[in-house]
Amino acid sequence: MQHPSATPAETPPEAEVLYLARCLTPVGPYVILTSGVSVVWISPEDDAARPVSRWQRWGARVLEEPEPGRAAVMQLEEYFAGKRRRFSPHLDLRGTPFQCQVWGALLAIPYGETRTYLQIAQAIGRPGAVRAVGQAIGANPLSIVVPCHRVIGSDGSLTGYGGGLERKRHLLELEARVALPSN
């Protein structure tokens, strides 16, 4: 996983080529952008225009070519089939140092468990930065793989999720079912 210190807006990807793949899931289609080596974006397809246009504004060429994202697609399919708890593609997390720190804390949340925004803020040593943590979580470029869906409100309620609360509920229920010990 790469944690650069600058956002893509600060360092435009000169002539970077990204490849777009799609994955059909029980909660709707997802779009995956890869550099050919690393996964740079995963989001529900109904939110795909935003990242694609953002990368294009930064000078990247986005090509509809599923092959480079094939491994990520297979891993998402395995996740939804209850056969995968961790993802192993190389992740290219592009964000500020603070965002990358928050995303790293999300990656540490075990499958089938949840954490509150406050717990994430405490985990990164910034207990007073709960709102900033929420903003960093909202900027997560790798939905599901960087498990922002595992973050809940301090009262245990489902709160903000870019993919919608129904998707979040489905993901948490899937993980709770799969995480149950089998007899």
pLDDT tens, the chain, 183 aa long: 443 333 444 444 467 899 999 999 999 999 999 998 899 999 998 876 777 777 777 788 888 888 989 999 999 999 999 999 999 878 999 899 999 999 999 999 999 999 999 999 999 999 999 999 999 999 999 999 999 999 999 999 999 888 889 999 999 999 999 877 654
Taking only the tens place, the pLDDT of each residue in 74-92 is 999 999 999 999 998 789 9
Question: Which phi and psi angles does 169 have, rounded to 5°?
Answer: -60, -45
Pairing of strands 30-34, 17-23: antiparallel
Find the catalytic residue in 148, 152, 171, 174: 148
Specify the pTM.
0.85
Task: State the CATH class of domain 97-179.
Answer: mainly alpha
Q: What is the pLDDT of residue 14?
A: 61
Q: Whole-angstrom Cα distance, residue 37 to residue 27?
A: 26
Closest-CA residue to 161 (of 171, 148, 173): 148
Domain regions of the chain by residue span: 97-179
CA dist list (Å): 180 to 87, 152, 183: 19, 20, 9
The reply to whether 148 belongs to the active site is: yes
Strands (E), 86-152: 115-116, 151-152
